Structure 1
Amino acid sequence: MTLTVRPRRRFVPAIAAAIAAVFLVTSFPAAANAEPNEISSTKVAQLRQTLESAAGQYLEAEGLLTKAKTEQAALNKSLVLAENRYLRAKTEVQKYAAEAYKAGRLGVIGVMLNANSPDDFLARSAAFEKMTARDESRISELVAARKEIDTTKAEIDGRVREQNKQLAEMKKLRAATERALSAVGGYATNGWVDPYAPTAAPAKRNSDGSWPSQGCTVNDPTPANGCITPRTLHALQQAQRWFHHYVSCYRSGDMYEHPKGRACDFSSEPDGFKNFSSKGENKLYGDKLASFFVKNASRLGVMYVIWYCKIWLAGSGWKTYRSAGGNCGDDPAGDHTNHVHLSVL
């Protein structure tokens, strides 16, 4: 007779738990808060690297352009002041020249010789020296003002050349980003921008208008628990004044902006990243958040924004963006139909 062994009852809860776990995994979307995998192919990885480099250089060139314009404005004011000083000095010198012409050199000597006493002669001599020093000072002022005008004009010309250089560089970088996007089907497209999007407080710039260089030096306040740059923190805090869905910034493991603390992913769903494309109110939430970053790009130092199969780049506007090809939303994380990606300089 064959003996049968009854299953031990203590295995039943473990089997039941395993079945329940399988049911939970297969019956519901991916767990909330899982970091989105935005890079789905080598081609997209190369694209993002190109965009990061070009967009960053574009903003740096834009900052240098702003610096050149600021310096030119200051130089223009200095030029006006120098020209006013030159006109005043020129008027005084012309007046002195006319008086000297009327009196003649012998006239001055005659005044000196007609002194009635040695003391009178010394007094007249001192007065003459004082007048000569005053007139020499006016002539020196005239020469100095003329020199300052010439120097200032040369500096202004230099700032204009710098502006033209940066404008040419920005044009080149814009073309580079558009070529990179067109290689993956990134044609120009219209992107909705909310006209009522709130205005952010501007991020800190240098006194001349350029962007300061920043590293990953402050704690990331999001659940990512890494580091971010002060400028990224500012953009995050400004956005969170009006937008309160789940957000994650720092992420290790790639060569792009997240590990550098220069990027954040803003979920369009309230409680975390979900493996499906947002619809309805949550889609509108993402639309408005993307609009906020685009509207305030120059205030926050935004390099680019990706949302719902579109990318907005500084200097280029909206372009189509596909991670895996096919239909928009086939890859919710890569196509960014479940979160708004922000990259700052």
Structure 2
Amino acid sequence: MVGTTIIRRRSGAAASLVALVTAIALVIGTPVASAAPDAPDEGDNKSLREVLEAASKGHIEAKAKLDNSKKRQKELTAQYDAVQDRLVSLTDEVGLMAAESYRVGRLTSVTLLLNSASPADMLDRAAGLEVMAQREGRNLRALTEAHEQAARAKAAIDNEVREQEKQVAIMARKKQDAERALAAVGGQSSGGFVSTTSAAAKPAPRNSDGSWPSESCNVDDPTTSGCITPRTLHALNQAKAAGFTRYVSCFRNGGSGEHPKGRACDFSAEAGGFQNRAATGGNRTYGNNLASYYINNADRLGVLYVIWYRQIWMPGTGWRSYNGGGSPAGDHTNHVHLSML
């Protein structure tokens, strides 16, 4: 009904088509949005992007599990050490009680009668020996429980070590996947862009176990009429707070990669917006510093990868050379590309 009303109010085939598309989008809830008109056309190597995304995401997830396992191992080791200290103390106590019991001998009805000067003395002795027996029993039970706790803590520590070995192996495989994919298009290890003066970003929210929460494209993109994820918005705002305020375009309809998912942004190297030329001078320095900012804050923000000036950075591989086809947009020499988890 909405579509019919709009179409009737417009004239001409072109206007009708626009109205129909808009009406359908409103009915099914699909946002009608696109990148800015001058957004860079980065090319579309779908298979490469898919491999890089899977490799980088797999590496980051494995590292989060590895870090969580190391944290858990540290806690378990502290528990194990505390139990071991208690074991030493309990063992000493039980040893002293055993020596005392051996010295005075076990209480029997005959020895109780023979060694008692009076009925009252006999009762006092019986009560004292009973208290000793109860203490000995408690300490023996505590000693047994401490041994069991130590064994459980040791087994848990061993499990964490195995988990860490597993995640390290996954990280190694993901690194190999990324390196093979990049090598196929001429990617080699490179120097990259590193700055030790990058500001520290405010960390994005994580799950309690250190992993990254799954997010959808559900917040307004301030750079287009589309949507981005909350984590992407956080990374964008943190960069602006750090002084990187030049032109940015994030959401983009169609194509592969993270732009249509609201998980990528392109940052112009020039203040006036995207230009069809490679950045030089201060513009290139701006790009260098921005790329370095996201690399240095990758773990705080949830960065998947960064592409700038014929190079790509991934958490599992570091900087590698990147061939985007030769154009300023494809080679990313006129803009910094950021992809997020």
- Normalization by structure 1: what TM-score? 0.82
Return the alpha-carbon distance in structure 2 between the equivalents of residues 223 and 88 of structure 1. Answer: 66
Q: Within 5 Å, which residues of 2 pair with 1:1-345?
A: 34-40=38-44, 44-106=45-107, 110-111=111-112, 114=116, 116-117=118-119, 125-220=126-221, 222-241=222-241, 242-324=243-325, 330-345=326-341
Asked whether the 8 Å contact 1:32–1:274 carries over to 2, the reply is no
Return the alpha-carbon distance in structure 2 between the equivalents of residues 265 and 280 of structure 1. Answer: 19
Return the alpha-carbon distance in structure 1 between the equivalents of residues 55 and 253 of structure 2. Answer: 22
Report the CA distance between 1:268 and its aligned residue.
1.1
Cα distance change on mapping 1:319 and 1:86 into 2, 3 Å: same
Asked whether the 8 Å contact 2:306–2:337 carries over to 1, the reply is yes
Q: Give the root-mean-square deviation of aligned CA atoms.
A: 2.3
Report the CA distance between 1:335 and its aligned residue.
1.3
Cα distance change on mapping 1:151 and 1:279 into 2, 3 Å: same
Which whole-Å deviations, capped at 9, do the CAs of 1:40-82 have from their partners, x for residues lacking one?
A: 4xxx221011101110011001111101111011111111111
Return the alpha-carbon distance in structure 2 between the equivalents of residues 130 and 217 of structure 1. Answer: 69
Return the alpha-carbon distance in structure 2 between the equivalents of residues 147 and 66 of structure 1. Answer: 27
SS for the counterpart of 1:105 is coil
Report the CA distance between 1:333 and its aligned residue.
1.6
Q: Which runs of 5+ in 1 are unaligned?
A: 1-30, 325-329
Return the alpha-carbon distance in structure 2 between the equivalents of residues 287 and 71 of structure 1. Answer: 38
Aligned length: 305
Report the CA distance between 1:122 and its aligned residue.
5.7
Cα distance change on mapping 1:108 and 1:76 into 2, 3 Å: farther
Report the CA distance between 1:227 and its aligned residue.
2.7
SS for the counterpart of 1:238 is helix
Which whole-Å deviations, capped at 9, do the CAs of 1:199-231 have from their partners, x for residues lacking one?
A: 2222223334333333333332x2223332232
Asked whether the 8 Å contact 2:73–2:157 carries over to 1, the reply is yes
Report the CA distance between 1:139 and its aligned residue.
0.8
Report the CA distance between 1:111 and its aligned residue.
4.3
Return the alpha-carbon distance in structure 1 between the equivalents of residues 36 and 96 of structure 2. Answer: 85
Report which stretch shifted further, 88-97 or 315-324: 315-324
SS for the counterpart of 2:106 is helix
Return the alpha-carbon distance in structure 1 between the equivalents of residues 208 and 112 of structure 2. Answer: 59
Higher radius of gyration, 1 or 2: 1
Asked whether the 8 Å contact 2:46–2:256 carries over to 1, the reply is no
Amino acid at match of 1:213: S
Which whole-Å deviations, capped at 9, do the CAs of 1:67-113 have from their partners, x for residues lacking one?
A: 11110111111111111111111111111111111111147973477
Asked whether the 8 Å contact 1:112–1:125 carries over to 2, the reply is no
SS for the counterpart of 1:164 is helix
Amino acid at match of 2:74: A
Report the CA distance between 1:166 and its aligned residue.
0.8
Cα distance change on mapping 1:138 and 1:130 into 2, 3 Å: same
* Percent identical: 48
Cα distance change on mapping 1:244 and 1:78 into 2, 3 Å: same
Amino acid at match of 2:329: A
SS for the counterpart of 2:282 is helix
Report the CA distance between 1:115 and its aligned residue.
7.3
Return the alpha-carbon distance in structure 2 between the equivalents of residues 116 and 338 of structure 1. Answer: 105
Return the alpha-carbon distance in structure 2 between the equivalents of residues 95 and 108 of structure 1. Answer: 25
SS for the counterpart of 2:105 is helix
Amino acid at match of 1:226: G
Return the alpha-carbon distance in structure 1 between the equivalents of residues 133 and 47 of structure 2. Answer: 75
Q: Which runs of 5+ in 2 are unaligned?
A: 1-34
SS for the counterpart of 2:287 is helix
Asked whether the 8 Å contact 1:112–1:124 carries over to 2, the reply is no
